[in-house]
Copies of this chain bind each other. A is one copy, B any other.
Amino acid sequence: MKVNNHLPVGVFDSGVGGLTVVKEIFKQLPNESLVYFGDTARVPYGNKSKEVVEKFSLQILNFLHKQRVKLIVVACNTASAYALETIRKNTKLPVLDVIEPGAKKAVEITCNDKIGIIGTEGTIKSQAYDKAVNRFADIRDVRIFSQACPLFVPLVEEGWADDSHKKIVKDVAKKYLTPLKRLKIDSLILGCTHYPWLENIIAEIMGKKVKLVSSAYETACSVKETLYGEGMLSELKTVQHKFFFSDAPEKAIMFGNKYSVKYMDATNVKKIDIEAYSPK
């Protein structure tokens, strides 16, 4: 459907974490317009149940349909882990998640076939990465070691990913990562879109021999491949980006500016009532 190539790409997350994916899409696909939704009224998703995350995701899908997007990126690992199937069942649009691209990359780069995965409690519990890694590994016997890091999201949201709080964040990270390090993994998937902001600290603890896989970067690559493959790339030179949040848009703007996410100003950022988008 060539006619729809100028429509925006829809991206959603539980909050501001998915903006790491947005930043990568801006870099890799400068001609694409974007609609972003962050569920800041109900963040975080990581410690909530599958049933609740599915319900929230369907409301968001309905909202993105109304925004007339051409492709949907589930830029939240928890929603990808718990709700991907349900979302795909309820839309005709292509739906990309953040788990498959990260899992694929890890299988490509591991040499000793020992892959580590860190994420929220929900993402780890769902074993979605384990399944995806095994699918890409095919007949190879890849071993997977996973670890939930529930405090990483609050630490990032609190703005403690900066240098002045490095010691505490490193202590917390050591608690989570030391067991993984002992297992001699050679690649580690950052299975949460908040984690790229802690990448330096995680890299220091894991050491140079462990390669980190950012699901944000890999997902943007996957968006590019899909749009290209389906003949859906936009050729427009003027792009228009819209950001929606279910609460505190002004805080989201501050966060976006702090982490250099372009186009996030009061003109493009709006608040919506996501509960009003329950599917009939």
- Residues of A in contact with B (beta carbons under 8 Å apart): 40-42, 47-49, 51-52, 150-151, 154-155, 157-158, 160, 165, 167-168, 171-172, 175, 246-248, 251, 275, 278
Contacts and interface: CB of A to CB of B under 8 A. Distances in A.
Nearest to A56: B41
B157 A168 contact: no
A251 B125 CA distance: 14
A162 to B, nearest CB: 13
Contacts of A151: 151, 154-155, 158, 160
Question: By CB atoms of chain B within 10 A, which of A151, A165, A275 has the most?
Answer: A151
Contacts of A165: 175
Chain copies in the assembled complex: 2
Contacts of A51: 247
Contacts of A172: 168
A48 B155 contact: no
A182 to B, nearest CB: 18
Nearest to A41: B52
Contacts of A160: 151
Nearest to A158: B150
B247 A52 contact: yes
A49 B154 contact: no
Contacts of A42: 41-42
A38 to B, nearest CB: 13
A51 to B, nearest CB: 8
